[in-house]
Amino acid sequence: MSNVFIAFQANEESRPIVDSILADNPAAEAVYSPGLVKIDAPNRLVVNRETIEEEIGRDFDLQELHINLVTLSGHIDEDDDQLTLSWDH
Amino acid sequence: MSVDLQAKQIEPLRNTFGHVAKYVKGNKPASRYEEATFGAQPSTNFHYRPTWDPSHELFDASRSEVVLEDWYVLKDPRQFYYGTWAMARAKQQDAVESSYQFVESRGLLDAMSDELKQLTCDVLMPLRHVTWGGNMNNCNIGAIGYGTAFTAPAMFHAMDQLGVAQYITRLGLAIGETAVLDKGKQDWLEQPHWQVLRRYVEDTLVIEDPFELFVAQNFALDGLLYPLIFETFIKDRITKEGGAGVAMVTSFMSDWFKETSRWINAVIKTAAAESEANNQVITRWANEWSKRAEQALAPIAEIALQDNAQAGIDHARAELDTRSNKNGLSQK
């Protein structure tokens, strides 16, 4: 078992994204450091478009998260509705 | 000598303003919407009562029959404060602008038959005055309503209504000259089939309860008018008879209706859920006003849809009833 992670700049725009990720991934943990928030999760982490939309009250294009994305690790499985990080092939 | 640079995380003692923090659970940082909304309503230390209404304070929740422990529960699911609202509308304005460019450069409006142009103008032009009523009414909700969560979106809604009126005007000018607008006003003032609706609009202008006004204007009237005109009439009639250009330049109205319905539903649902008394009074308003609105729209459905008038009204009615149910209003 190893971690995957995703990190965002800590700002007003990324806060609802971080909140939705934490809501969707009970095992995930957010680590705050100056200007940065890194979310670690064992094996698998999923970002859902719908959860973010509920959080911010408007339509959201998953590509928008790249504006504040700093780094990530894990194999990416991405479509219009979700982005999943895991170590599966 | 070596200098050791280290990043150090400094935890803020407070994440937001005190008056906002009261409404944000768990000492979390507040969103821009929350900071612009919560605790912004003036509530104490009013100097004297307004001369135009000495029985109430300047800002007074008791102007409405609806009683809420805290008016900030009426949150806007779109989370609009001035910035996000203005940005959202600017984007939509760009879209409308490019629709106009497309429609004009390809002559889509000119290509319509004279009868179709006439029908479009007959039905849409007097609606400028209906949306002007919507503008006045929502301004009034902003003025006499209570709680920024409720009044701020009402003011945005007022400006949106004005925008809709302007889009209708622009369509009129694109189809004909200013005579088209004058004719619309004349119809509004004189044509018998517009008088029931005109009476409805004029009666809502003097409603003194901000929540009743909200139900009468935003839920009952617009809730029937938009599906009838911008869905059924434009989509099922004008477009099919060769007026796709009209549909393109009025697409803002159907999108806007969908978007604002979320807000209107949320306000009604939350207020009705707070107490049985609220539910009863809101249900009463919704039933009374939607019945009147239905009667007011019937003659317009006649000219807009002719044989299909009743079907159009029934469709709009069914949509409104579904919303009533979802918002927890008990039926008739």
| pLDDT exceeds 70 at position B332 | no
Q: Which DSSP state fits B77?
A: T
User: What CATH number should be reported for the domain holding residue B198?
Assistant: 1.10.620.20
Q: With CB atoms and an 8 Å threshold, state whether A57 touches B9.
A: no
The pLDDT > 90 percentage for chain B reads: 88
pLDDT, residue B8, reads 79
Residue B330's pLDDT band (boundaries 50, 70, 90)? confident
Q: Which residues does residue A71 pair with via DSSP β-bridges, in sequence order?
A: A7
| pLDDT exceeds 90 at position B316 | yes
Q: Residue A77 corresponds to which amino acid?
A: D
> Residue B183: CB partners within 8 Å, gap ≥ 6?
B121, B125
| pLDDT exceeds 80 at position B26 | no
> Residue B246: CB partners within 8 Å, gap ≥ 6?
B109, B112, B120, B171, B234, B238, B239
| pLDDT exceeds 90 at position B3 | no
pLDDT, residue B331, reads 63
For the entire predicted model, the pTM comes to 0.90
Residue B163 lies in a domain: yes
Residue B52 lies in a domain: no
A58 part of contact set with chain B, CB < 8 Å:
yes
pLDDT, residue B294, reads 96
If one counts the domains in chain B, the total is 1
User: What CATH number should be reported for the domain holding residue A77?
Assistant: 3.90.56.10
Residues of A in contact with B7 (CB under 8 A): 33-34
Q: What six digits make up the tokens of B18?
A: 């005190």
Residue B1 lies in a domain: no
Which of B24, B31, B256 is best to mutate for the A interface (most A CBs within 10 A)? B31
The pLDDT > 70 percentage for chain B reads: 99
If one counts the domains in chain A, the total is 1
A66 part of contact set with chain B, CB < 8 Å:
no
Note whether B304 and B312 are within 8 A (CB).
Answer: yes
Residue A62's pLDDT band (boundaries 50, 70, 90)? very high
Note whether B20 and B39 are within 8 A (CB).
Answer: yes
pLDDT, mean of residues B240-250: 93
Q: Compute the distance between CA of residue B59 and CA of residue B273 in angstroms, rounded to an integer.
A: 24
Q: Which DSSP state fits B147?
A: S
The residue range of the domain holding B142 is: 75-326
pLDDT, residue B179, reads 93
Q: Are strands A82-86 and A75-78 parallel, antiparallel or unpaired?
A: antiparallel
Q: With CB atoms and an 8 Å threshold, state whether B88 touches A34.
A: no
- Nearest partner of B185 among B237, B221, B132, B229, judged by Cα: B132
Q: What mean pLDDT, rounded, does chain B reach?
A: 94
Q: What six digits make up the tokens of A23?
A: 């809501």
Q: Compute the distance between CA of residue B228 and CA of residue B234 in angstroms, rounded to an integer.
A: 9
Note whether A54 and B77 are within 8 A (CB).
Answer: no
| pLDDT exceeds 90 at position B216 | yes
Residues of A in contact with B79 (CB under 8 A): 56-58
A56 part of contact set with chain B, CB < 8 Å:
yes
Q: Quick count: other Cβ atoms within 10 Å of Cβ A16?
A: 19
A59 part of contact set with chain B, CB < 8 Å:
no
Minimum mean pLDDT range among A43-47, B13-17, B310-314: B13-17
Residue B47 lies in a domain: no
Note whether B101 and B93 are within 8 A (CB).
Answer: no
Residue B166 lies in a domain: yes
Per residue in A40-55, is it b (16+ CB within 10 Å) or e — as a string? bbeebbbbbbebbeeb
| pLDDT exceeds 60 at position B230 | yes
pLDDT, mean of residues B196-217: 97
The residue range of the domain holding A45 is: 3-86
| pLDDT exceeds 90 at position B217 | yes
Q: Where would I find the H helices in A4-85?
A: 15-24, 49-56
Q: Compute the distance between CA of residue B329 and CA of residue B332 in angstroms, rounded to an integer.
A: 9
Residues of B in contact with A57 (CB under 8 A): 33, 76-79
Q: With CB atoms and an 8 Å threshold, state whether A58 touches B9.
A: no
Q: With CB atoms and an 8 Å threshold, state whether B78 touches A58.
A: yes
Window A:15-34, CB contacts with B under 8 Å: 15-16, 32-34
pLDDT, residue B201, reads 97
